A and B are shown apart, each in its own frame.
Chain A
Amino acid sequence: MTQQPHRAVVGTDQPRVDGRLKVTGKARYAADHGPAEGVDGIVHAVLVESSIGRGRITGIDTRAAENLPGVLRVIHHGNAPRLPYRDNPFPDSINPPGERLRAFQDDLVRFFGEPVGVVVATTLEVARHAARLVEVTYDVELPVVDLSRAPADEPETYARGDADTAWEAAEVHLEMTYRMSRNHHNAMEPHAIIARWQGERLTVWDKTQWVADPRNELAAVFGIPREAVRCLSPFVGGAFGNGGRTWVHSAIAALAAREVRRPVKLVLTRRQQYFTAGFRPGYEYTMRVGSDRRGRITAMVHDVRGESSRYERHSDDLSIGRMLYAIPHVRQAVRHVPLDISTPTWMRGPGWSSAAYTIESALDELAHELEIDPIELRMRNEPTQDPATGQPFSTRRLRECYDVGAREFGWHRRNPTPGVARDGDWLIGMGMAAGAYMTERAAAQAHVRLDANGTAVVQSATSDIGPGTHTSMTQVAADALGLPMGAVEFRLGDTALPPAPIQALAWTMASVGSAVQDACDRLRRRAIALAVDDERSPLHGVDPDDVAVERGRMHARDDPSRGETYRQLLARNNRPFLGLTGSYNPEESRFSMYAYSAIFAEVAVDARLGLVRVRRMLGVFDAGRIINPRLADSQALGGMIGGISQALLEHTVTDHRDGRIVNANLADYLVPVNADIPDMRAIYVDSVDDKADPIGVKGLGEIVIVGVAPAVANAVFNATGRRIRDLPITPEALLGL
């Protein structure tokens, strides 16, 4: 098989190909679409949300709203048509088990802020005002929203060995309970959708992490074939997981558009983002760790309670507890606590970051108890094969992450005695933690078309929620085709394109990237085959394996002067283009495949005032091939900032009396500002993983947050001697030092 001679742009620092569009406001996000895309006469929908946490709607008075000039319809359960709401039959649906929230199909209120009506009007201002004038009356019931008090479901359990007995028998055994607050994604772009019907065909411009899901879900909701739905999503302003599922507001927008027979735009307000677009569930996580005196961990027992809704059952993946260390006896019991809240969903590093917080905090507690350096303790429990499956690792360079991180961070300067290092009023501490995230891959397709002018268009129905997929795919395609990046355009975000999986699980590069690689490799070979078979080509008769392409010119490897360009080849053969579809269909791997991290944090704590400042952070990542260091840094720094935020700031507050989310806005729900973010650095250990996928990546977008929060918490302990087991770490928790 022919291989390109070298990777010209893969692995190099490249600016985003769509950067200029974004910073000049020309990138069109879901709500930006309109007449330029042929969508005329858009009207505006605004949700009316419940002001109670549980109960029944007894009346809806829409008269004042409907009397406003410009109001077209007020739709609610009393006048909404019954919708088919078929089960979403598609195998890649990520709807969790249960009955999904439906658009105005009954009078039940399941949680505070549930949509109970929608106003459609000719302007946004009128629609917003009218929504405020809708008067809803309720039979109010007391909601149950307190994770710590509500009963839990039967546990889902994992066990190897006999962890409880081994823990009892261990020379050293610790038991701790950690609590993690509920977190909301708070992507910069709010959820937004424009829905347009043309007869029985529906087109939506939706904010989503994969266009296939709104298509599949809306087809199921309205009982129409999925071929009748098209979803477009060319740009996404961040998602972090909350654009994975197709939420009820998308169905409401499509319903409203059908009712008023006009295209409808619906944009959630920031406040509404907190109600029906998912969140990272809160956890109460009891951890028992047993080890011998030398730090060999013999048992780890996880007893977990996590938030879920009553109408669906959301499960995070906590399996990092099974694979991170060579522990013979492990038990995990995960209980879901059904509450009168909306359904949680995936949020960056879902499950992995939550469980890593407890595991890596517990390891730090054990290291302190045993008076062993935290890195050394981890080294002593480093497995040689996957502890859960027995499989060999594709690559696992966690030791190297520790070594590089310790050296670059100056770990040797850490005083193992907590509460001793000082800088003025500030206590100084260092902490570290490890992380892992699975390397997953999914089937994907990509189409490539090489035009007679020598440029190529590559297309796949994937998304770019921020990692820079437009750019990274362009790099892969450019190298495989032997074209400069400027001659390649990558298009995504349209169900009319070849199918791709959700942009999640950090698997886009492995999955779509491999499909792009396949398509472009095959197209290059097709062009070479055409040339070597063409008597008029200078390459006629050359072994195709001996032909390479650089900057759009095919040439013989041993005689670069012998060759011709794609343009010459196509022109001579009267071919307007060459095109084909490539694919990637991953097989079950016999390897254990994960990305790994070692995170190092230095904090300063003002012990009198309870203030924590992260002064330095270093993340060392074993994530396989890095396609573009600049994009990787953008992922890594963003993920680490998210982790700092999880450790110190983020906390969705629910009023237990009525289920109200008290801080459903960006003034009261705290995310970091620039002043909170320290000197940060990411290092990627050299680790192309050829066993993982054809392009050797292991996925970066999720691992970058895993281990960050415990590194910060461990640093706070080192600074103060105080172990805070609740996230976020607040000033009040640190007072009384």
Chain B
Amino acid sequence: MFPFSYTNASSLQEALDHGQRGGRYIAGGTTLVDLMRETVERPDELVDISGLPLTEITMTPRGGLRIGALARMADVAAEPKVRNTYPVISQALELSASAQLRNMATIGGNIMQRTRCAYFRDVSADCNKRLPGSGCAALHGYNRTHAILGTSESCVCTHPSDLAVALAALEAVVHLVGPDGERDVALTDFLLLPGGTPHREHAVRPGELIAAVEIPAHPRPLRSGYLKVRDRQSYEFALTSAAVALHIRGGVIRAAKVAAGGVGTVPWKLTAVEDHLIGRRRSPQLWSAAADLATEGARPLDHNRFKIDLLKRTVERQLLIVGGTE
């Protein structure tokens, strides 16, 4: 671990002041400390924001849900407002990490967590994300767990968060506060495709801090759920996952919110799947036909070709689980 200074921010303003001068925000620390130990991350200054009052979970006047950035994963998963309105959020959280980690890690940190790519985490390997211009060892290396969607020659790693997949499906918005005030960015715009600059992972401006995530109101009733496929049954990242939320009236799908995880360089919103579902009557054939559109544009690597089939099947299964049949 490289030496660093540590400041415990007692107010939002104090945090922003330090952040503007290059301080790195730390809350649960479950990613950052890990990466500091591996010397992947070498911040000069840590600004501890875990004492700031950003933990509230509230229903918005319009019927959406606002989750404070410092709410802990475990608390959000257990919150009745979340469980009742967006089970997909609770399920994504509860299928993440371990109980111990969920007790520490926060919602903001979960979105900001960095990739699990083994080459990114091994400082002796080439990685454009860690060291721009050094190359991507995963592109022709061992890439079984890597992305098939949104990749570039520079980077093929996945965004590891399950929560972010559910949030992407539900078209969540990230509330940022910074030296120049507050602003909102859609989650799908907030997390950036790697392109030629994989070291740029998100739209945070210097000194900005995530204050909350807001899920807009969706038509009700909304059935939703999260399916995660992985080698072992707990405490592992997804090979593939699917977040599905459906509003069905009279057997016809009126609204569909679908995203996939474990397959994209960012949480992958499946708009083609959604479009295919809207206005159609639910049936096994529909789930299958819609799921076939999940892999549009997918580019497999040497060891992850199976993810193309697996993704389709994951989406199909979860459409069936959430949407059922007549």
Contact = CB atoms under 8 A, between A and B. Distances in A.
Interface of A: 51, 125, 128-129, 132, 425, 608-611, 613, 648-649, 653, 655, 657, 660, 662-665, 667-668, 670, 672-676, 730-732, 735-736
Contacts of A129: 1-3
B127 to A, nearest CB: 12
A609 B317 contact: yes
B233 A609 contact: no
B236 interface: yes
Contacts of B309: 735-736
The 3 A-B pairs with the shortest beta carbon distances in the complex, nearest first, are A51-B124, A732-B306, A675-B233
B190 interface: no
B96 interface: no
Interface in B297-326: 306, 309-310, 313-314, 317
* Interface majority SS (helix, strand, loop, mixed), chain A: loop
Contact of B142 (A125, A655, A667, A732): A655
B39 A609 contact: no
B116 A667 contact: yes
A129 B119 CA distance: 20
A545 B24 CA distance: 80
B141 interface: yes
A425 B229 CA distance: 14
Contacts of A609: 229, 310, 313-314, 317
B232 A673 contact: yes
A665 B118 CA distance: 9
A730 B231 contact: yes
Contact of B229 (A128, A611, A613, A675): A611
Contacts of A660: 122, 124-125
B235 interface: yes
Interface in B120-139: 121-122, 124-125, 137
B239 interface: yes
Contacts, number: 73
B95 to A, nearest CB: 11
B142 A649 contact: no
A653 B231 contact: no
A425 B284 CA distance: 14
B232 A670 contact: yes
B236 A670 contact: yes
Contact of B310 (A655, A657, A673, A731): A731
Interface centre among B236, B306, B317 (most CB of A within 10 A): B306
Nearest to B137: A655
A676 B122 CA distance: 28
A657 B1 contact: no
Nearest to A128: B1
Nearest to B42: A132
B306 A668 contact: no
B311 to A, nearest CB: 11
B233 A676 contact: yes
Given A51-B124, A132-B39, A660-B122, A675 B234 contact: yes
A731 B3 contact: no
Nearest to A425: B317
A673 B235 CA distance: 8
A272 to B, nearest CB: 13
B21 interface: no
Contact of A731 (B121, B137, B239): B239
Given A611-B229, A655-B142, A675-B234, 14 more contacts: A129-B2, A132-B2, A609-B314, A609-B317, A653-B142, A655-B141, A662-B142, A667-B116, A668-B118, A670-B232, A673-B233, A673-B234, A675-B233, A676-B233
A665 B34 CA distance: 12
27 contacts: A125-B1, A132-B2, A132-B39, A425-B317, A608-B317, A609-B310, A609-B314, A610-B310, A648-B231, A649-B232, A653-B142, A660-B122, A662-B141, A668-B118, A672-B232, A673-B234, A673-B235, A674-B234, A676-B232, A676-B233, A730-B231, A731-B229, A732-B310, A735-B306, A735-B310, A735-B313, A736-B309
A613 B229 CA distance: 13
A665 B119 CA distance: 12
Contacts of B137: 655
Nearest to A728: B231
A730 B234 CA distance: 16
A129 B37 CA distance: 9
A9 to B, nearest CB: 39
A736 to B, nearest CB: 7
Nearest to B123: A132
B209 to A, nearest CB: 28
A663 B124 contact: no
A670 B230 CA distance: 11
Nearest to B118: A662
Contacts of A672: 232
A132 B38 CA distance: 9
B62 interface: no
B290 to A, nearest CB: 16
A211 to B, nearest CB: 32
B122 to A, nearest CB: 7
A613 B317 contact: no
Interface string B83-121: 000000000000000000000000000000000101101
Contacts of B116: 667-668
Contacts of B232: 648-649, 670, 672-673, 675-676
Interface in B39-98: 39
A321 B233 CA distance: 34
B239 A608 contact: no
Given A125-B1, A129-B2, A662-B118, A657 B231 contact: no
Interface centre among B232, B309, B314 (most CB of A within 10 A): B232
A51 B309 CA distance: 36
Contacts of B239: 731
A663 B233 CA distance: 19
